Amino acid sequence: MIREGTAHLPNVEVDSFEGLLVDYVTRRNADVVLRGIRAISDYEMELQMALLNRRMRPQMETVFLMASEENSFISSRMVKEIFRLGGDVTGFVPEIVAKYLHTKAPPHATVVS
């Protein structure tokens, strides 16, 4: 879904890894990690991780990007709950995600397109 949702962005590469982020960053020969933050609770956890990562790899910087106000309350947990209870999630997720949920929908759930 992420690959499909970002296919129109030529400067975006989708990848995954197992293990420590610092090891992945080293393998990719990168020095900067971008992390999204929605709320203060995200910041506290992200700051702790950034400081641990910096201790393990001092040249690695973490840059925090704040979510826009209109998206700051959206979380995958909330979207899944709305969907599970039959609510319309199209205003909270990209179109490709809504379509995927529709094809994978349990019998009691509905997605409005």
Percent of the chain beyond pLDDT 90?
57
Residue 112 has what pLDDT? Answer: 54
The distance from CA 93 to its chain's CA centroid, rounded to whole angstroms, is 11
Instruction: Output the average pLDDT for the chain.
Output: 89
pLDDT over 90 (residue 107): no
d(CA 52, CA 40): 19
Q: What are the boundaries of each domain within the chain? A: 17-70, 74-113
d(CA 37, CA 48): 13
pLDDT over 70 (residue 91): yes
Q: Give the residue among 29, 113, 38 at the shortest CA–CA distance from 73.
A: 38
